[in-house]
Copies of this chain bind each other. A is one copy, B any other.
Amino acid sequence: MLRMSTLLLRTLRDDPADAEVASHRLLVRAGYVRRISAGIYSWLPLGYLTFRNIERVVREEMDAAGFQEVHFPSMLPKEPYEETNRWEEYGPDLFRLKDRKGNDYLLGPTHEEMFTLMVKGEYSSYKDLPLSIYQIQTKFRDEPRPRSGIIRGREFVMKDSYSFDMDEAGLEISYQKHREAYVKTFKRLGLSFNIVAAMAGAMGGSKSEEFLAPCPTGEDTYVLCEKCGYAANVEAMVTKTSPYVGDAPAALEVFDSPNTPTIDSLVDLLNAKFGGGYSADLTLKNVMLMADEKAISVLVPGDREVDLKRLGANLSGVQELRLFEDADFEKFPGLVKGYIGPQDAKKFGITIYADPRVVPGSHWVTGANEKDKHARFVTNGRDFDVDAYLEAAEVRAGDLCPKCDNPVIIDRAIEIGHIFQLGRKYAQALNLTVLDQNGKSQVVTMGSYGIGVSRAVAAIAEQTHDEIGLSWPREIAPADVHLVATGKDEAIFETAEKLAHELESKGLRVMFDDRKEPSAGVKFKDAELIGIPYIVIVGKALAEGKLELRVRKSGEKSEISAATAGEEIYSIVTSASSITA
């Protein structure tokens, strides 16, 4: 039993100064977590109970799926991370340290290398596979901007799994098993979520999906089609295109366009000069970038910006991506800033990428590669060639769903899980091979799967709180029932004490507010802030043989008879599903 008279818990009336999001604000105010340093938190008793409930659900679902639990250290030697090149690649996000002998170590930000080496150490044959193993472990990442409390911390707990298979078909099966286990896990946690297509990104590999918990203050932006259910994070959104169907374009025509530094001024000039009908989406922007110090041009319709994050995710193998600076333009004297067109790209030796909307045969108004001159009827395939099409333009609400043509919405969310087909990158780098049926050595293919366990505490808080406090699903809550005794009457406290024991003997977890000093109002406010799903009040009405039961989420109140309270409460609590409680 949790007794508020002795529980290490002091609720706060005021929001912490550094809290930007509701979960952070409420988890601090309700006495669940405390900040130790930027992105580093400690857990008070209520917070750790909640955390452990989530950890238990995650573990139970992983075990139920047949995944085996292992555990790695946090402090890891440098060598394996050098073999995969991540000691360098991770950059300043990696916490590095030396031991007393000067040997290099890191604090594990993820454990791909260690999982790979563990399997390499134990297994040697195709008969040993498939295998899925997981751990629930503390991770360390030196985030440039730790924020939102425990949502983006520098020390946090993740469940990370890896699957090991002989081939792609096996990997696909392991991937689907994890996907199903994740769906079950997040449902049990009471989270509403979308599974969105994602880019594998820096981790290498191919197929990848994210589990996103919608939340207005979430850091992740994603696209959702409310008609067919298509969902993708912004990096992975596929542009819907249709082939060019107009007349064959007229011949390329260069025209004077002084004083048109912006797309808007260019459109005005076009409409004035050619009698209307022009809009920004008929013009073509030539965005010049340096990709690992190699010049590239990205063509996007004039009404869209290039989304560097989206471009980066789709431009594989590129580490550093930045817009042209003046010094870069100086290296290409043929490029007239503000008047660039793709017509002469071959001359300049620049690779041309285009947004998929720049379909073959389409014609555009664009720069004429001469000061104060633009050209129209500049036609893809006739006047210029595209080296490769690439998702590069910003995504907007109202863009068409690539599956069903319905306009999509854009929503914010917290990433709570990520699954992806890692492939052979780590197995290759660390030489994880097994003998196949023909006795031939084969590199194993891997999948990688993560759940943010400590982050889930905040994600659930974000989705379930209301204006007066936290409001946990029962399975996650630090207790089932928050029993409040009010007033000064000894008989009230005795009845409440007896009821608390009765409920516990029935298997319910009870938080008992047995404090004598605070007023009833303070106790109710605390109960609402703490967010245990059922609040039972033993107070003045006891004289008439009545107690009150409040459902925290709905605010619904009902009278129950003191004589049969134990049984009544038990039946109400256990008959409700944990998610709707």
Given known contacts A97-B96, A142-B99, A142-B100, A73 and B10 CB-to-CB distance under 8 angstroms: no
* Interface residue? A43 (CB, 8 A): yes
A8 within 8 A of B: yes
Q: Which residues of B contact A71 (CB under 8 A)?
A: 42-43, 48, 51
Contact in complex: B48, A8 (CB < 8 Å): no
Instruction: Tell me which of B7, B70, B93, B95 contacts A42 (CB under 8 A).
Output: B70
The answer to whether A34 touches B100 (Cβ under 8 A) is no
Known: A8-B133, A10-B123, A114-B42. A37 touches B154 (CB 8 A): no
Establish whether residues A121 and B34, one from each chain, have CB atoms under 8 Å apart when the complex forms: yes
Report whether B77 and A37 are in contact in the complex, using a CB–CB cutoff of 8 Å.
Answer: yes
Which one of B9, B36, B66, B131 lies within 8 Å of A114 (CB-CB)?
Answer: B36
Total contacting residues, chain A, CB less than 8 A = 53
18 interchain pairs (CB within 8 A)? A6-B131, A8-B123, A40-B73, A42-B70, A42-B114, A44-B122, A45-B68, A48-B71, A49-B69, A74-B74, A74-B138, A74-B155, A75-B107, A75-B154, A75-B155, A97-B97, A100-B142, A107-B107
- The answer to whether A472 has its CB under 8 Å from any CB of chain B is no
Question: Hey, what's the 0/1 contact readout for A132-160 against B, CB within 8 Å counting as 1?
Answer: 01000010101010000000001100000
Q: What would 6 more interface pairs be, CB under 8 Å, given A37-B75, A37-B76, A48-B69?
A: A36-B77, A41-B73, A42-B70, A92-B100, A97-B97, A99-B154
Closest B residue to A454 by beta carbon equals B71
Chain B residues with CB under 8 A of A92: 100
How far does the alpha carbon of A97 sit from the alpha carbon of B93 in the complex, in Å? 13
Docked Cα-Cα span, A98 to B107, in Å, equals 12
Whether A42 pairs with B99 at a CB distance below 8 angstroms is: no
Q: Which residues from B are CB-within-8-Å of A118?
A: 8, 34, 42, 44
A95 partner residues in chain B, CB cutoff 8 A: 75, 97, 99
Assess whether A72 is interfacial by the CB under 8 Å rule. yes
Residues of B contacting A48 in the complex (Cβ-Cβ under 8 angstroms): 69-71
A36–B114 alpha-carbon span in the complex (Å): 9
Residues on B with beta carbons closer than 8 Å to the beta carbon of A105:
37
Within 8 A of B (CB), among A349-397: none
Closest to A97 in B: B97
A212 to B40, CA, bound (A): 35
Cα distance A119–B71 in the bound complex, in angstroms = 31
**Separation in Å of the A30 CB from the closest CB of chain B?**
13
**Cβ-closest chain B residue relative to A69:** B48
Contact at A70–B8, with CB atoms within 8 Å?
Answer: yes
A8→B144 contact, CB < 8 A: no
A464-493 interface mask toward B, CB cutoff 8 Å, 1 = contact, 0 = none?
Answer: 000000000000000000000000000000
Cβ of A447 to closest chain B Cβ, rounded Å: 16
Whether the pair A36, B76 counts as a contact (CB closer than 8 A) is yes
Cα(A119)–Cα(B123), bound, Å: 49
